[in-house]
Structure 1
């Protein structure tokens, strides 16, 4: 009776040896790639973006959509940047609303990538180029977004109709 358990154990061992077969082999391949410097870019909605309507002497205001700065320059030791904004005058069917009647409020920024400090500009009229957002003290690449608001005080003297101007964001 002792042979039976021994035969059973031997059979299992033989079966395992047959199922596992010869030892597996492996081959390693070293793969490399190079990360290169990219660009500093800014994107903003192409529009048109409607701020709504108001009577002459009133104000229209609204967000223009997300502005994004992407800095892929990989700066060492830092990759600081400043985004600026300005506007053209707003032309209508018979009159023009000057860019000085438009104000820009950047609102808070959101730092998506980076380890520096993101600071909104003070806002103000768009007849001169002004700071929209700055990024300082970071190392490596960065990306930030914000959703600014534009307000236009409509002069009492302008005629009825749709007015259009161009808000320009830049980054350096």
Structure 2
């Protein structure tokens, strides 16, 4: 409180002036939620590798494979795996079949990634290609946080058996995510 003294025509006047009182602070608790989505993989519907003669190899890229992790996890990790069926033509006899041991895969490096974490190709180079006679790691994420994604364009290499016969061979390459 301030006290002010003033002298008016010989009389003393005392005026008390109170300072402006401040209001007590008011707190508001605010909440919100972050919604997690799903872990998904998208692959091309089909791919053609062209053709080749018996005893030779052919190769080609399958098209973009994309993993999208929208789970918004504190510790995000996933592994994309790849397998293949054998490739067959006609009645699927031995001469009409390219076995999975003759089908090789390499993921290459990612063409795009989003989010945080360590993105690791299963096979970064052609020299690291692996046969698809068993499930193989195509790509993985470790040490991630929140949402993330990776896109790569893998290469398939087919070693055409010397005994292969003329025809259009069809098989299925399956990518899965966990």
TM class, shorter-length: 0.7 to 0.9
The structure with the largest helix share of the pair is: 1
Q: How does 1:12-161 map to 2 (within 5 A)?
A: 34-47=33-46, 49-76=47-74, 78-94=75-91, 95-122=96-123, 123-161=129-167
Deviating runs (4+, > 4 A) in structure 1?
Answer: none
CA shift, 1:35, in A, is 3.6
Instruction: Give 3-state SS (helix, strand or coil) of 1:137's partner.
Output: strand
Instruction: Give 3-state SS (helix, strand or coil) of 2:101's partner.
Output: helix
TM-score for the superposition, normalised by structure 2: 0.74
Give unmatched runs, 5+ long, in structure 2: 1-30, 124-128
Structure with greater Cα Rg: 2
Could you tell which deviates more after superposition, 89-98 or 62-71?
Answer: 89-98
TM-score for the superposition, normalised by structure 1: 0.77
Pairs aligned (count)? 139
Give unmatched runs, 5+ long, in structure 1: 1-31
